[in-house]
Structure 1
Amino acid sequence: MLHSAADQQFEAGSLLSGGDKTDYGAVSNLSLLDTVDSPITLSWQDIRVSAPKINRDILHGVSGIANPGELVALMGASGAGKTTLLNTLVARNLKGLQVDGSVKVNGKVIGREITSVSGYAQQEELFVGTLTVKEYLSIQARLRVVEIPESKKGTATSLEEYRKNRVLKVLANLNLLKCQNTRIGVIGVKKGISGGEARRLTFACELLSNPALLFCDEPTTGLDSFMAESVIHVLSTLSTANRTIICTIHQPSSQLYSMFNKVIFLACGKTAFLGSPTQAIEFFASCGHVCPRNYNPADLIIHKLAVVPNEEDECIQRIEDITRKFEQSVYGTRLDSQLASVTEGRMPEKRRQANICTQINALLQRATIDTVRNPSLARAKMIQKSVMGLFVGLLYFQTKLDAIGVTNINGALFYLVCELTYSTLFGILNFLPSDFPLVAREYHDGLYSVLSYYVARCLSYLPLFTIDGLAMLLISYWLVGFQSAWDQVLLACLISFLIEQSSSAFGIMLSCVSPSFPIAMSSAGPLLTLLSLTGGLYANVGALPSFISWIQYLSWFRYGFEAFTINQWRKVDSPNWNSTNTQEVMQNLSFTESMFLWDMVIMAAYIVFFYTIGYIGLLIRIRRAR
């Protein structure tokens, strides 16, 4: 996904082209961005965070305020508590932590509902890499933009038109037009957009809903200095549209440092300073830490606030002295008065979720494109099943209907059951691990429900995990010489569909309830072995010991094989075959012809059961992932 530094410099230069004059002497088209209708003042007071399990205090009474139109930087040395503070402000990633204090939006505590009035551009860029930039944003728009704002109702005749206009505007504003038809890419698999473009795409997704409050976690990490400067310039320009923007940043250059309206320095979980970049330099100079000429102020301040190994006592004493002086300084007094003057104001309108049909439709489109464009899944599955169908057909080519032939045909039928199961289940076990981080993030962003994602993703697999199985069955069907009356062929296709969907549903269930992909993989093998051994070919199901025979009733191998066998032998087009032969085959396998319909009904019931358990498992895991 990452390009060279030269590529990044080129796109940074193009980012600053066309529109209003900027500090760079170039021009920017970012002035086209919408102004926020309901600005947000975010304040936090006496935030204390501790980890009871390890008996450690992380934040000690941290307070602060961010006003509309401000770009605020949270800075500090490693372990200072800036990431914990950001997580506290956005009410995310606080599992196992005890949080005290208040976070207010326009003077009101709203808790986790802060998600519905803000955007959060996280450090880790999570996308569906097989989609193009425009495709991805268009689907995001269907999830994030659910109505036309009152101020924009004259600009579009329909919601769909407004969404398209919004996507094009954001693409233009963040200079993503030149890569709009480029696939995002998958690291290590397929090259896509550059690192700078990926970072701007993260901002673009959040800006679709025009949030008044935007959080950014390490927006410049992984970028060269020139590209990092352009990204901060984007954020600075966004803040001029009456937005409140708060970001964590690690050791910015002196030029980046000067671009922030306000800086907050943390040290050992306490506030060491809050004010403008220039005021920070003056304050630390008054504490005896003068910044030398031509030296990066941020580097100096962070160094003075760091705890250096083997110098812990001296460093902690210096930090205690700085934090105490800040509390007693004019800057600390001003912060106290600002927090005291915060009153309840007009609350911004909360972002509403799209209706469930729109959610499923948008997610189904995204999942279907991803499945079709995934070469390791789509093409490989079709090639594999076609080859295996040809192999089975040639192995059992035109089998004769004698005693050995009957055994061989039954073996071919059971092999089809196994092939429909094993390759499908192991192919789908990656259902959740690859999607989980993105789904958890979007769910907690309030974009859609778990049910919408689950239904859409399962439906997206349905065509692929139906067509490949039917291809294998039909390629081998006439080569082997299975009974080919039209009703038997159609019923064989239905049985094949039910077997493959049973294994697909079981694989999805296993993926959702297992805590990790390796556990799901290691569990699948033994479970499938048990189910196949009681499937009816390796051991007669009527002769199994009572303490183990119950497993057969949990096995779609058994129901699928029985249904295939009944369908094959109930009507044989041969003068040397009669009903007695059919009964003999059934008795040898302990199968009952009257179970034919029940076999298919039970497999359908298991499909519903597996999907239901999978959904419950996914719901629990995602809710715990906040």
Structure 2
Amino acid sequence: MTSEEVQVPLRNKPLKHLNRVAKRPKLDLEFQDLSYSVRDSNLKGGWRPILNSVNGKFRCGELTAIMGPSGAGKSSLLNILAGCVTAGAKGVITVNDRPREMRIFNKLSSYIMQEDTIQMHLTVKEAMIYAACLKLGSHIEYKDKLAVVDEVINLLGLEKCTDTLSEYLSGGQRKRLTVALELVNNPPVIFLDEPTTGLDNYAIKQCIDLLKKISQLDRTVICTIHQPPASIFQYFDQVYIVANGSCVYNGSPTQLVPFFSLVGYSCPSNNTPCDFMIELVHSQPSMVQSFRTAIQDGKINMREASNTDDKPAKSLDDGDIYTDPTEIVIEKNDIEFANSFFVQFSILLSRMFLQMRRDRTGLYIQFFHHLLSGAIVGGIFYGIGNDASQTIAIFKYCVCCNVFYMYTYVMMPVLLFPLEVKLMKREYFNRWYGLKAYYSALTVSMMPLLVVLSLMFSTIVYLMTHQPLEGDRFLGFCLIGLAVALTSQGLGYCIGSIFSITNGSVVGPSVLAPLLALAVYGMGYRSSIEPFYKVMMTLTYIRNGVVGVCNTLFYQRAPLVCPEDQIYCHYAHPDILMADMAMPLMDYKYQLGIICIFMVLFRLLAYLVLKCRLNNDLASRIVYLFKKVVKHRY
């Protein structure tokens, strides 16, 4: 954190506008006999236990820290309570003493993940306004949303950086912004996974102080933290320590030392209680059972004397939503998302266009890439368009154009889209918008730039190579190139949706290499291509791209001009070349239609992959089955 940021105090006042615009109930979250196992193909039974019958209650108005050594089950417990993971979990989770209903609970909680994933190229206030527009219903006036944004910004001390682009924020400011984005719809329950990761000691203190003040605004704040500094340990209202999947302490920080006495241990004066507990269970695993028995798997809560009585739970109406006699929760028709598909689509499209316009470096790189590539390809094949002695070169030119479109538009999503997926997962899980709206906006937002750049490249290479100045041929050449670009982009989204940047950068070229090989296989074989490869080539979009571009230039074309210095030009008639290359000479619209089919299939496949990735349980099951098949195979 900067010295200027330290001087900004956290406001300690109620959120009047937010409580008026988005009223929410006070919620207590309780779990009983909660167990969790994950699939493991290396184990005989196929399941590896992570949590063992843990119990606990996290109260409204309190800041609760889930602590423990690495691999103890902290994040797993948080993910289960937040609803991020459900498969493999057993036990009872209640909200205000009633069974948790996920469709409703998702609207009443926010999950802030470990990484500070925030939208780039937006100022703090712009990011907040977009979040408010997406998370608050369209029935709320825009001026009220602005009032809520200003109120949350002032609460978190972000007013001095409202006009700062998010990429220039300090670590502490980024953390505050991620919290602020989730506060705009007034969630009564906030989950945070390792919120202090990457911060120095003072920034950690500021972060925990922020969470403490948020909890005092009648919110249930639950976070995982590995091993907090001694100076902030007392900030927590409740500490929940897990080790080897079991609860070894549940209660107030001040009661941890007396708890040691109950088990027959004493905390050394040179150790903090938390450090001593974690060190003890880590170095002596046999002690886990002793602590677990003493705390009865979390059923006993070692609270301070003044807090021995539980706070009264909020009552519930007979309807199907959580409610309070004096507070409005959510409308029954507003359980999934705050806005309709079209409202979500328009807001997301506006945000994506603004970010694209602000990304000057990316725009310049793409523009000069297409400009220089077009000039290089046009220079290499300059003036060959009607030269009968260069017909083979024209064919190479057609292949070269397809290779440009294929690699350019596959690799860009492969390298950039995984970062966008991380952002989308956080916003989707916190019910900002639906996947259909996001994917539709993403597809539409990429279209204008792709069309302009693709047409620029096609025009440059078409004119520099002196191809026939016929409207239908030029139109077909541009349409085939545009279709190949859009299809390649869809393939890139498929790869980027599945793999990380590192893995995708390997998988991408590995997928494109056989596609390119099939695109040019059989050139010169005439009709002697094996039936299997004929089918494979037909089912390769890049092969149809090569054939389609060739047909735009050669179909129903007069013989090419043979130079005077050439005695004989064998391929003066393009149909002879097409026959030797085992390519059908026909109207390019046939190939264009096949490419469009691949375009739709790749886009649909990318959507289904994203939908699968957003379902953590389904994704983990697929990974498990894949590992099991690979293990059985090898």
Q: 1:13 maps to what in 2?
A: 7
What residue number does 2:133 align with?
142
Change (3 A) 1:554 1:106: same
Q: What is the match of residue 610 of structure 2? A: 618
1:522 to 1:263, Cα distance in 2 relative to 1, 3 A: same
The percentage of counterpart residues that share the same residue type is: 25
- Taking a change above 3 Å as real, the CA distance of residues 556 and 46 of structure 1, as seen in their structure-2 partners, is closer
- The residue type equivalent to 2:75 in the other structure is T
Counterpart in 2 of 1:223?
199
- SS of residue matched to 1:216: strand
In 1: Cα distance, 2:550 partner to 2:301 partner? 87
How many angstroms does 1:200 deviate by?
A: 0.6
Unaligned stretches of 5+ in structure 2? 324-328, 563-571, 621-634
**Aligned-pair distance for 1:546?**
2.4
Q: Report if aligned partners of 1:119, 1:211 keep a CA contact under 8 Å in 2.
A: yes
Cα pair 2:148 2:184 within 8 Å, conserved: yes
Which residue of structure 2 lines up, in the alignment, with residue 24 of structure 1? Answer: none
Offset at residue 102 of structure 1 (A): 1.1
Q: 2:223 maps to what in 1?
A: 247
| Residue pair 2:113, 2:193 contacting (<8 A) in 1 also | yes
Residue 90 of structure 1 pairs with residue 82 of structure 2: yes
Q: Does 1:116 align with 2:107?
A: yes
**Aligned-pair CA distance for 1:139:** 2.4
* Contact residue 544 and residue 591 of structure 2 kept, 8 A: yes
Aligned-partner Cα distance in 1 for 2:268–2:283? 26
2:175 corresponds to: 199
In 2, Cα distance between equivalents of 1:517 and 1:52: 25
Q: Is the 8 A contact 1:91 1:111 kept in 2?
A: no
Taking a change above 3 Å as real, the CA distance of residues 101 and 229 of structure 1, as seen in their structure-2 partners, is same
Query: 1:330-374 CA deviation, whole Å, 9 max, x = no partner?
Result: 8699999859x8685351435541211222233333444445555
Write the mapping of 1:534-613 to structure 2, written as runs, cut at 5 A. Answer: 534=521, 538-539=523-524, 542-570=527-555, 581=573, 583-584=575-576, 586-589=578-581, 591=583, 594-613=586-605
Q: Secondary structure at the match of 1:435?
A: helix
Deviation by residue 1:391-448 (Cα, 9 ceiling, x = unmatched): 2222222237343133333332332222222222222323542223322333332222
Give the equivalent residue in structure 2 for 1:319.
291
Cα pair distance change 1:254/1:589, threshold 3 Å: closer
The more displaced of 102-111 and 453-462 is 453-462
Flag structure 1 segments of 5+ consecutive residues without an equivalent: 20-27, 149-157, 186-191
SS of residue in 2 equivalent to 1:595: coil
Q: Distance in 1 between matches of 2:480 and 2:385?
A: 24
Give me the whole-angstrom Cα distance separating, in 2, the residues matched to 1:513 and 1:257.
40
- Provide the residue aligned with 1:345 in structure 2: 316
The offset of 1:104, in angstroms, is: 0.8
Q: Which moved more, 1:304-313 or 1:234-243?
A: 304-313
Deviation at 1:138, TM superposition (A): 2.5
* CA apart distance, 1:575: 10
Matched, 1:179 2:170: no
TM-score (norm 1): 0.82
Separation in 2, partners of 1:607, 1:287: 66
Match of 1:525 in 2: 512
**Residue range with higher mean Cα deviation, 503-512 or 603-612:** 503-512
| Pairwise CA distance, 1:464 | 3.0
**Are 1:39 and 2:26 an aligned pair?**
yes
**What SS class does the counterpart of residue 74 from structure 1 fall into?**
strand
Kindly state the Cα deviation for residue 122 of structure 1 after the two structures are TM-superposed.
2.0
1:259 to 2:249 alignment: no
**Of 291, 294, 303, the match for 2:276:** 303
The answer to whether the 8 A contact 1:45-1:61 is kept is yes
* Number of equivalent positions: 585
Distance 1:567 1:337, change over 3 A: same
| Cα offset, 1:472, TM superposition | 1.7
1:490 corresponds to: 475
The alpha-carbon distance between structure 1 residues 541 and 245, as it changes in their structure 2 partners (threshold 3 A), is farther
Does residue 393 of the first structure (1) align with residue 364 of the second (2)? no
Counterpart contact for 2:65–2:225, Cα < 8 Å: yes
**CA–CA distance in structure 1, aligned partners of residues 514 and 397 of structure 2:** 22
State how far apart, in whole Å, the 2-side matches of 1:259 and 1:215 are.
17
Q: Which amino acid aligns with 2:156?
A: L
Relative to structure 1, the CA distance from residue 270 to residue 331 in structure 2 (aligned partners, 3 Å threshold; closer, same or farther) is: farther
Deviation at 1:559, TM superposition (A): 3.0
Per-residue displacement from partner, 1:50-85 (whole Å, max 9, x unpaired)? 457456544343222233222222334445443332
- Note the C-alpha offset of 1:510: 3.9
Q: Is the 8 A contact 2:391 2:574 kept in 1?
A: no
Which amino acid in structure 1 is aligned with residue 80 of structure 2?
Answer: T
Amino acid corresponding to residue 4 of structure 2 in structure 1: F
The aligned counterpart of 1:131 is: 122
Q: Note the aligned Cα RMSD (angstroms).
A: 3.7
Matched, 1:164 2:146: yes
Counterpart residue number, 2:432: 447
Which deviates more from structure 2 when the two are superposed, residues 224-233 or residues 250-259?
A: 250-259
Please give the TM-score of this superposition, normalised by the length of structure 2.
0.81
Distance 1:504 1:284, change over 3 A: same
**Distance of aligned partners of 1:227 and 1:510 in 2 relative to their CA distance in 1, 3 Å threshold:** closer
| Match of residue 66 from structure 1 | 58
Matched, 1:277 2:253: yes
